[in-house]
Structure 1
Amino acid sequence: MIDILKTKFLLLFRKPVGFIIITIIICTFAYILGLGQQSKIPIAVYSDLNKEQTETFLLELKKIPELDFSLYDEQEAIDMVRDGNADVAVHLMEQKFELIISPNYLDSALLKNQLNTIYGELTQQQAIVDAYDENPTINVEEIIQNANEQPSFQIQYLNFSNDEDFIWNPKLHSLFGFTLFMVIYTVANGVSHIVMERRNFIWDRLTISAIRKTEVYLANVLYCFLIGYLQVVLILSIFYFGGVDFYGGFGKTLLVVIPYLLCIVALTFFIASVAGTSGRFNAYISVLAVPLAMLGGAYWPLEIVTSEAILALSYVSPITYGLELLNGVTIHSSSMNDLVLPLGVLLFMTIVFMGIGINVMEKKEQL
């Protein structure tokens, strides 16, 4: 069995083009649809403060996610709001600020609250520095910096949400959806070698050799699973270390994707047993993969679908349960006990598809 696995991976290393192309396609589509469209809202800033104070405020403002603060002259900032090039203009002053808001901007209360927080923190620090400015033995700025870097206690923020509410992260959804969709082709590419080996009687030579038939099946199943898992781990790692927030569940995503990949391997084995030839196998995969992705919610969340027929058909797609597992351990912070249902369904599909696929292959071999 180990020798078969080594041979499979040597063939992959000699011709890795397909594996690399699919990986690049997944990363590209996930970025374009999930990350590239998430542009920040432009906010114009003009200031009455001195240069140093203005830069300090801008550094704090740029920490606010989804908002892009840029410094302009007063008239230029006002004109940007008037012309629709910016939704808000922020006027920074010594002890307060002013907002010039477009009628279409609906988050003014949230922005005002964030600015109040920043003003409160910075003015408080400045007041402390001014209070001890006459004492040269105390470096107040250094003390404040050390306190920020090494706080005496930690504060953790938790989000309590209704389980029935629809929570959607477009970045993660596009990443998970296209990964689960395109990895089908990677696994199918591994299974297609089995179809060709059976057609070229290589399979028969293996089964009549000293290698047991069980080992031959197990080696091929393991190879197809490993190339799919390697690709998923590679893609998720790229986006995780690239700054995508997995809500503390990155490690769990690498675990819960395993039953999905096993199900896809079993499904492709079943299709290979029915197809018989590599041409028909590739055609069946092409015809089935896209509908499974659409029904499973890889392109759009199923929560926005209103058709009862489509929602009913979504239960036959493994991608539905794969996304439920990945979203569960990330944005929903679900425990493994909460994900027993999708795990059980995927394992059940794996057993059914693999059992039927191997039986059909064996019957065709006997004929």
Structure 2
Amino acid sequence: MIHIFKTKLLLLSRQPASFIIITVIICAFAYVLGLGSQSKLQIGVYSDLDDEKTKAYMAEFERIPQTEYILFSEEKAISLVEEGEFEVAVHLMLDGFELITSPDFMDAPLISNELTTIYSRLTQEEAILSAAPINKHDEVEKIIGEAAVHPSFHINYSSFTNDEEFVWDSKLHSLFGFSLFMVIYTVANGVYPIIMDRRMRIWDRLTISAIGKTEIYMANILYSFLMGYLQIVLVLSIFHFGVGVDFYGGFYYSLLLVIPYLICIVSLSIFIASVASTPGKFNAIIYGMAVPFAMLGGAYWPLEIVNSDVILALSNISPITYGLELLNGATINNSPFGDLIQPLGVLLFMSVVLMGVGINLMERREV
């Protein structure tokens, strides 16, 4: 088994084009559809403050999500708003700030509230320092820093939503949807050599050698699974650590819950390989099945916006439906494990049935 597995890894290292291309496609589609359409709001900034205070405020502004504050001269910042390139500019003053906005900009109250919070915190620290003796400034700054890291009390924020409404995050949905969709091709590419080996009689030579059939099946199944899992881990890691997509604290949990989905896809590929007599038929079935599964499973759009009872009924046959339930439950929905048992159980049931039927058909055809 180990030798077969090592041989397949060696072949992958020599011909990694398919794996790399599919990984790049996943990243490209997920970025364009989930992130590319949601560019940050650019806000011009000009300041009457000294350089040190301006840098302090700009550092705080960088922490505000979905916005990008860019420092300009006064004339440049105002002209950008007048010409319509920016919708808002901020004038930093010693005793406050003012917003210069375009007539149709509707988010001025939100921007003003965020800036007011920052101004209040920074001016409070300045007031504390100015009230303290000069020789105590270093000690006071140290105490303020420690208080920021270890506050006396904590404030927790929670939001309330209607249980009948679904929580939507286009970034995660496009990332999860295209990952689960495209990994079908990666797993199928791992199962494809089984058909070629059987067609070229290599399978027969292996079965009459000292290697048992169980080891041959296990090597192919493990190789296909690890190829798909490696691709999922790579793509999700790129978006989590590189792009900065928020997984709502469930990144590692999602890497664990994607395993049942991949096992199901491996089983599905084994089943298709058992009924397809030629490599051409295998590819035709895979390509003809993956796209409908993605559409029915909600990879392109959330099933919550679908009104057709027929489509919703057909979505129950798509493994992607249950894969998305697991990943969304681990991240954006923050679901307890009890709520994930149903999609987890369905995927494992499908895996057992498809794998059992697929291997049984292969053995019968061999006889």
- Answer whether TM exceeds 0.5 for this pair: yes
Shift of 1:76: 3.7
Distance in 2 (alpha carbons) for counterparts of 1:138 and 1:78: 38
**Which residue pairs with 1:265 in the alignment?**
266
Q: Does 1:353 align with 2:354?
A: yes
Q: Tell whether the 8 Å contact from 2:250 to 2:331 is kept in structure 1 after alignment.
A: yes
Distance in 2 (alpha carbons) for counterparts of 1:16 and 1:89: 49
Residues 1-367 of structure 1 aligned to structure 2 (within 5 Å): 1-132=1-132, 134-139=133-138, 140-152=140-152, 154-242=154-242, 243-366=244-367
CA RMSD of aligned residues (A): 2.1
For each residue in 1:146-187, what CA deviation from the matched residue of structure 2 results, as whole angstroms up to 9, or x when unmatched? 433454555544444333322222222222111111111111
Shift of 1:219: 2.4
CA 1:291 to 1:63, structure 2 compared with 1: closer, same or farther past 3 Å?
Answer: same
Shift of 1:63: 1.4
Secondary structure of the corresponding residue to residue 167 of structure 2: coil
Distance in 1 (alpha carbons) for counterparts of 2:180 and 2:320: 7
Secondary structure of the corresponding residue to residue 90 of structure 2: strand
Q: Which amino acid aligns with 1:270?
A: F
Shift of 1:240: 2.2
Secondary structure of the corresponding residue to residue 136 of structure 1: helix
Distance in 2 (alpha carbons) for counterparts of 1:84 and 1:315: 48
Distance in 2 (alpha carbons) for counterparts of 1:89 and 1:113: 15
Distance in 2 (alpha carbons) for counterparts of 1:249 and 1:137: 44
Shift of 1:329: 0.3
Distance in 2 (alpha carbons) for counterparts of 1:75 and 1:166: 45
CA 1:168 to 1:18, structure 2 compared with 1: closer, same or farther past 3 Å?
Answer: same
Query: TM-score of the superposition, structure 1-length normalised?
Result: 0.92
Shift of 1:103: 4.1
Q: Tell whether the 8 Å contact from 2:4 to 2:216 is kept in structure 1 after alignment.
A: yes
Secondary structure of the corresponding residue to residue 334 of structure 2: coil
CA 1:308 to 1:74, structure 2 compared with 1: closer, same or farther past 3 Å?
Answer: farther
Query: TM-score of the superposition, structure 2-length normalised?
Result: 0.92
For each residue in 1:23-74, what CA deviation from the matched residue of structure 2 results, as whole angstroms up to 9, or x when unmatched? 2222232223223333111112233333332222222122111111123344
Unaligned segments of structure 2, at least 5 residues: none
Secondary structure of the corresponding residue to residue 135 of structure 2: coil
Percent identical: 63
Shift of 1:257: 0.5
Distance in 2 (alpha carbons) for counterparts of 1:87 and 1:317: 44
For each residue in 1:332-352, what CA deviation from the matched residue of structure 2 results, as whole angstroms up to 9, or x when unmatched? 111221101111111121122
Q: Which amino acid aligns with 2:298?
A: G
Q: Tell whether the 8 Å contact from 2:46 to 2:91 is kept in structure 1 after alignment.
A: yes
Most deviating of 186-195 and 99-108: 99-108
Most deviating of 235-244 and 113-122: 235-244
Secondary structure of the corresponding residue to residue 69 of structure 2: strand
Distance in 1 (alpha carbons) for counterparts of 2:3 and 2:94: 74
Q: Tell whether the 8 Å contact from 2:129 to 2:137 is kept in structure 1 after alignment.
A: no
Shift of 1:86: 1.8
Secondary structure of the corresponding residue to residue 123 of structure 1: helix
Distance in 1 (alpha carbons) for counterparts of 2:51 and 2:209: 80
The number of residues matched between the two structures is 365
Secondary structure of the corresponding residue to residue 63 of structure 2: coil
Distance in 2 (alpha carbons) for counterparts of 1:29 and 1:284: 23
Secondary structure of the corresponding residue to residue 231 of structure 1: helix
